[in-house]
Amino acid sequence: MDTPTLLQIIEAIPVGVILAHKDGKINYANKAALKCLKINIKSIHGVDIMSLFPSLPGKRETIIRIRDNQKIPVRVTTLQLPSGEKAIIITDITEIHQLQKEILKMDRLASLGELTSGIAHEIRNPLAGIKTTAQALNEDIGEYDHRKTYVSRIIMEIDRLNQLLLNFFDFARPRALKIRSCNAQKIIEDSVYMVKEKAKENHIQIIEFYPPHKVELKADPDMIQQVLINIFINAIQAMGSRGKVEVQLIDKVESIEITVNDSGKGIPENIRNRIFEPFFTTKAKGVGLGLSISYRIIKMHAGNISFDTSPSGTTFKIGLPKE
Ligand SMILES: Nc1ncnc2c1ncn2[C@@H]1O[C@H](COP(=O)(O)OP(=O)(O)OP(=O)(O)O)[C@@H](O)[C@H]1O
Ligand SMILES: [Mg+2]
């Protein structure tokens, strides 16, 4: 085998090399440099190197603008050779840049999460005190005293705030899954049970469909139940005061599918790609965490969640692997 020449080696390395005459006119660029600058050798030949990399010499990270005003982050080392010629070593650091940005974003989110869950935690203690006091007051007030409605209202709002904080904790610090063998039908039945009263109040019928045999899966039943409750509550809220929710369990051998269909008003097209975002809500009293928590739980189970919607109703579909 022939020994490669220096030039062949320079052509093959993944680092960009650009050479210029004493007068600064570029006379050579290797493949990696052309790729990084998205340019061909003809268009770079004879170009003044100072117009591309103004501050020579040195080593630094910078953003260069190439054709179509596209910006690329690069690491550049510029050398003044003893012969008076100039050399530039250039590396595209787009990926590193991207990763750095991601890390910074995650870092910020993590500290924000920590701060807010700290505050949320501190709110819960005085809240418990307020509730106990309100309950004592409630017992002191006579059955027919008109002030009883005020106190009940206070207690109700405290409960709502408490629930909000609990949701928030789930979101800020999701607990680890406790996977075990469970009966899929039982999880659905338990979830339906939890929203039965709410449905009844709104004259909403919940109809369940199950396969004739027992369907087992390995999952965290409490978490799956939480997902179903979120979806049922959304369904009930989408319908106002009358309607029907159909929930169906389908056994797909390797996986299971749970569909929840409501006869509500549907999800408007312009918000369809946002409903899984944390804190996205269209409800006056909504927090906007229900679906984002659900999404995360299903993903933690290596499952998937999707929906179909029209002005006559919405169907949420959850797929979960059995193992
Ligand atoms: N079945 C549904 N029918 C119509 N719109 C829905 C349905 N489910 C969700 N949405 C829309 O998606 C939004 C986000 O739902 P999500 O459950 O995440 O938050 P939320 O219900 O508004 O508040 P939270 O669940 O935290 O109390 C809702 O505000 C609503 O606009
Ligand atoms: Mg919700």
Q: Which residues pair with 251 in a beta bridge?
A: 256
Our answer on whether the CB atom of 291 is closer than 6 Å to any ligand 1 atom is yes
Look up residue 316 and give its amino acid.
F
Asked whether 314 and 260 are in contact (CB, 8 A), the reply is no
Q: What is the pLDDT of residue 38?
A: 86
Distance from C-alpha of 87 to C-alpha of 99, rounded to nearest angstrom: 29
Q: Whose CA is nearest to atom 22 of ligand 1?
A: 281
pTM of this prediction exceeds 0.85: no
Cα separation, 215 vs 104, in Å, equals 44
Res 192: pLDDT: 95
Position 2 scores a pLDDT of 67
Domain ranges of the chain: 16-92, 97-172, 180-321
User: Alpha-carbon distance 319 to 258, whole Å?
Assistant: 7
- Measured distance CA(295)–CA(272) in Å, rounded: 14
Neighbours of 313 (CB within 10 A): 21
| Tens of each residue's pLDDT in the chain, 323 residues | 567 788 899 999 999 999 999 888 999 999 999 998 888 888 888 888 887 776 656 778 888 877 778 888 889 898 888 988 988 899 989 888 888 887 887 777 677 777 777 787 788 888 889 999 999 999 999 889 989 999 999 999 999 888 888 877 777 777 788 999 999 999 999 999 989 989 999 999 999 999 999 999 999 999 999 999 999 999 999 998 889 999 999 999 899 999 999 999 999 999 999 998 888 899 988 888 889 889 889 989 999 999 999 999 999 999 999 98
Give me the pLDDT at residue 190, please: 93
Looking at residue 288, its pLDDT comes to: 86
Task: Using alpha carbons, list the distances in angstroms from residue 165 to 22, 173, 207, 274, 278.
Answer: 68, 12, 31, 22, 14
The CA distances from residue 110 to 24, 103, 114, 225, 294, in Å, are 48, 10, 6, 27, 20
Is the CB of 235 inside a 6 Å radius of any atom of ligand 1? yes
What pLDDT is attached to residue 45?
A: 87
Instruction: Please tell me whether residue 5 adopts helix, strand or coil conformation.
Output: coil
Sheet holding 255-262, edge to edge: 204-209, 243-252, 255-262, 313-321, 304-310
CATH architecture of 180-321: 2-Layer Sandwich (3.30)
Give the ranges where the chain is alpha helix by DSSP (H): 6-12, 31-37, 41-44, 49-52, 94-140, 147-172, 184-201, 221-239, 290-300
Nearest CA owner, ligand 1 atom 6: 267
| C-beta 307 within 6 A of ligand 1 | no
What is the reported pLDDT for 55? 65
- Which protein residue's CA is at the shortest distance from atom 29 of ligand 1? 281
Which residue, 32, 41, 78, 36, is CA-closest to 59?
Answer: 78
CA 135 to chain centre: 39
For the domain made up of 16-92, give the CATH fold. Answer: Beta-Lactamase (3.30.450)
Surrounding ion ligand 2 within 5 Å at CB are 234, 290
